[in-house]
Structure 1
């Protein structure tokens, strides 16, 4: 068997491109970590500092004193976790329904739902705000969580993933006396683990980074999420950028943990899709 021909120039070019891409991604995170350990004056020095400084404790103290950041982090974690669980259930059930059931108007209803992917979210802010005001939900956590539970992209993702389920598998489950919810839970969900992991990561990231809607409905600083609390630290006359960078660095940690926890499912999903029997 003839050995494959190797092209050193192509390997060098590919490696160089990957190194540049890695640097483009890593440098901002490195600067974020370094900036969190410096004061605002040091951050704007010329040339800027490239090594960690000694102001991390002071920045964290300022952050806690100005924004009660410990409570803010708990607010964001609680809201993002509850939202991920509830929205994940809604999107998964809706995707399963669109993928497996045949009913009149299904395609029209799904097309109407998909309009949510092209309509700017800003258009719905005023009617949603009026709805929250009429429900007396302003400045509450449910006002942040409830409006986006049926996220169009999440439903689309799960519908496309579940469309590949063998119809014969579902029919055999029904013939064995399996109820519809048990069929969904025991038969349809287990093969969808990679898709569920991707959905959970997307939903958590969506809610964790959401700024505009929490800014509109949350009035009390005790209910602020991380993006709103960090924005409140920007003053007209003076802004403590060291404290803001420290808060931003803290905000990046949960996302890294969630990604690492779900990484195995992404890898298994890619391998399963790459092997054909």
Structure 2
């Protein structure tokens, strides 16, 4: 998610979302600001890597005609638009704290909603599919957020959550790449509260939230010179450079070397993976 909230905003049907003054330490304020040049391109590099995997899973879970979907932290809207154009869903409500990228390309059936999903007054209704990718890892209280998003799933519907799992620290050798990754995770934790340590527990959090048929999978894209994922990490390190250097784990020269290594055939590291977990709301109350 990205952007900042001031005042109030209304969605379709008169639905209103409170927007207070921006609090410090949030995604899109100190790093990954949507107003910065090149941020939409950075987001779209991730989309190029992960969208096919995400869309295939959503379709297998029933995304299709007649379905009403909520896409949380929709970013530039690639998943939301693909649900409409490729999966043929009836409606997608795409929510983000900053919707400038969502409104730049209107699509029939797409509603862009500027809102803060952490607000107690975020109540957009019930949906057949609720999806969030790389969102909860940047928010406090992931267990609470899983419960909140599960509460937006209609009976018989499905919640699908994807977040990063770090494969670059425990047991990984020290290389320019892994040192940069470790500095990135620590720097993001220190500045905006990013935490991926809980992500492997996401299926258990879904069970605790009352969902059934819970399962999960991990997708790890290969690091190859010139690939979208390698370019994404280089762009991300540039955005987070100040936070990374502040950790004391790396300096600017080390980050530059890590970026060069990404473009070298000698870079044999593992990219952080994307863990996707899903669970279905019981059709009838237990």
After TM superposition, the score normalised by the length of structure 2 is 0.21
Structure with higher strand content: 2
After TM superposition, the score normalised by the length of structure 1 is 0.21
Q: Which has the higher contact order (CA 8 A, sep 6+)?
A: 1
Structure number with greater Rg is 1
